[in-house]
């Protein structure tokens, strides 16, 4: 396609540039690419490439999830045994940090609609990316439960404000075609990061101690997260004179109309389908968090070494990374219903495998199926909100679904901690998780059999 060039003044105020800027516009594969005469050199270089700029945002989001989510959540189970052993905490006492993480995510999710409508998303992400790095470093100096609890509040709140919630909103703005794949590829970063960091953290703890391991992780977070937030990510394609991926000149008007379709959060509150989705998500989040956060201590409890357990967690994180990309691709190709049902069944199989993890076959089953199953926890709320309730009030509905799903994350450490302290094993907790996954599966079967789940969309 021949390149068309025209000089113009863009009247869209880029929140990162602070005002109008002259641009030269050219078209490549139906996507206008801008060459800004003002702005950061790295962004200018990326805009000159033949790659749609949204894919660079996917890359930046990948590293935020890899080093942020991967360090704070996915590698956190590696620290449980050495910290509780050295400082004399019980598992249930230290697992309160997991509850705090979930509460912070819940609160931020509930307020997401108001936060991102009142404050510029990029300014929020800049402030809290710095806060995340500084507060995470303080873990290496913690020596009391109160210190761990206080630091966890700051770390979890900061991560919630730069990771899944804002990244889902931003990527939904940039992609219409291939939205599921874009979100899946970005969020597979948490799996890749968890895979690499879990293995490295196990080695660092064994050779240098858990305090030094926290410091090493902090350095990696600073190196990989801050450049993406400050230099690459933009909230809207229109801020750079671009259109969302998949939107042509001919389909632009249809897209603008679709942006106003759907229902408001207050209307969703009156929908049985809405609350059914929330209930199913709570059930699945209890199961998913129980599997992901307790697999390392479970394996050490049944006789495996810390290093072996860390390597298994690394394999699970690798499976999760592949699973998130697969979840997004499945959503784009076979649709929401089949993808969600596959995720539920995969979780049931993965939990069954971990119950029989004394056998390598059981571990292999868990590693194979955990990816697509646990991908539900980070991707599903976004696509459920978009497909079932529309774009009209997407930020608020998506935030609420994430928040209520976070109830499962809050309940998980309480339930798992109680059952572990009562029985001395995680087996009873995994059995309960299987039951919850079955319940979620039947709830979704009922939801998808309802042909008109949201009357306001008709």
For residue 279, the surrounding DSSP H or E stretch is: helix 272-301
Rg (CA), the chain: 22
Q: What is the pLDDT of residue 395?
A: 81
Separation CA 71–CA 252 (nearest Å): 40
**CB-CB contact of 88 with 144 (8 Å):** no
Q: Compute the average pLDDT of residues 149-171.
A: 93
| pLDDT of res. 453 | 38
Report whether pLDDT(185) > 60: yes
Q: Does 34 or 160 have the greater pLDDT score?
A: 160
Determine contact, residues 110/102, Cβ cutoff 8 Å.
no
Q: How far apart are CA 146 and CA 295, in angstroms?
A: 25
Look at residue 204 in the predicted model and tell me its pLDDT. Answer: 94
213 versus 5: the higher-pLDDT residue is 213
Residue 342 has pLDDT above 70, yes or no: yes
pLDDT digits (tens, 9 = 90+) for 47-64: 555 788 999 999 999 999
Rounded Cα distance, 240 and 32, in Å: 9
Minimal CA–CA distance to 383: which of 327, 439, 446, 455?
A: 327
Number of helical H runs and strand E runs in the chain: 18, 3
Domain parsing of the chain, residue ranges: 6-48, 54-241+260-457
Secondary structure (3-state) at 13 = strand
pLDDT in tens, 191-237: 788 778 888 998 899 899 999 999 999 999 999 999 999 999 998 88
Where in 223-354 does DSSP place strands (E)?
A: none
Superfamily (CATH H level) for 54-241+260-457: MFS general substrate transporter like domains (1.20.1250.20)
Identify the CA nearest to 168 among candidates 233, 259, 243: 233
Strands annotated E in 15-169: 19-28, 31-36
Count of CB atoms within 10 A of residue 429's CB?
Answer: 24
Q: Find tokens 């004179």 and name the residue.
A: 241
Query: What residues have CB less than 8 Å from 321, skipping those under 6 apart?
Result: 188, 189, 190, 191, 192, 194, 195, 371
Strands 31-36 and 6-14: unpaired
């Amino acid at each position: 396609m021949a390149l068309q060039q025209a000089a113009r003044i863009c009247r869209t105020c880029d929140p990162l540039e602070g005002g109008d800027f002259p641009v030269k516009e050219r078209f490549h594969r139906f996507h206008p690419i801008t060459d800004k005469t003002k702005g950061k050199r790295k962004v200018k270089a990326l805009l000159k490439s033949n790659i749609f700029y949204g894919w660079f945002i996917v890359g930046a989001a990948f590293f935020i999830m890899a080093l942020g989510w991967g360090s704070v959540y996915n590698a956190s189970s590696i620290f449980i045994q050495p910290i509780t052993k050295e400082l004399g905490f019980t598992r249930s006492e230290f697992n309160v940090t997991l509850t705090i993480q979930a509460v912070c995510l819940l609160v931020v999710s509930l307020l997401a609609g108001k936060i991102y409508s009142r404050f510029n998303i990029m300014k929020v992400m800049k402030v809290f990316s710095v806060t995340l790095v500084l507060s995470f470093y303080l873990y290496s100096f913690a020596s009391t439960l109160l210190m761990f609890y206080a630091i966890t509040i700051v770390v979890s709140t900061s991560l919630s404000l730069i990771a899944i919630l804002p990244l889902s909103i931003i990527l939904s703005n940039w992609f219409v075609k291939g939205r599921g794949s874009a979100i899946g590829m970005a969020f597979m970063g948490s799996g890749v990061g968890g895979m690499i960091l879990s293995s490295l953290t196990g080695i660092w703890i064994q050779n240098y101690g858990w305090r030094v391991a926290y410091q090493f992780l902090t350095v990696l977070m600073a190196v990989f997260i801050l450049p993406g937030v400050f230099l690459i990510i933009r909230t809207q394609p229109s801020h750079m004179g671009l259109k969302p991926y998949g939107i042509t000149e001919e389909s632009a008007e249809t897209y603008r109309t679709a942006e106003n379709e759907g229902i408001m959060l207050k209307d969703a509150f009156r929908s049985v389908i809405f609350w059914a989705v929330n209930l199913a998500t709570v059930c699945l989040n209890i199961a998913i968090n129980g599997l992901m956060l307790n697999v390392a201590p479970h394996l050490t409890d049944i006789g495996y070494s810390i290093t072996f357990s860390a390597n298994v967690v690394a394999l699970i994180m690798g499976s999760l990374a592949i699973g998130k990309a697969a979840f997004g691709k499945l959503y784009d190709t076979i649709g929401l219903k089949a993808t969600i049902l596959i995720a539920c069944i995969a979780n049931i199989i993965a939990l069954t495998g971990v119950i029989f993890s004394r056998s390598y076959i059981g571990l292999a089953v868990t590693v194979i199926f955990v990816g697509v199953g646990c991908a539900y926890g980070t991707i599903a709320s976004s696509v459920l909100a978009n497909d079932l309730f529309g774009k009209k009030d997407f930020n608020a509905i998506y935030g609420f679904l994430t928040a209520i799903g976070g109830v499962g994350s809050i309940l998980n450490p309480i339930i798992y901690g109680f059952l572990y302290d009562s029985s001395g094993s995680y087996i009873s907790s995994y059995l309960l998780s299987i039951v919850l996954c079955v319940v979620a599966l039947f709830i979704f079967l009922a939801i998808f059999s309802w042909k008109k789940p949201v009357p306001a969309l008709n």
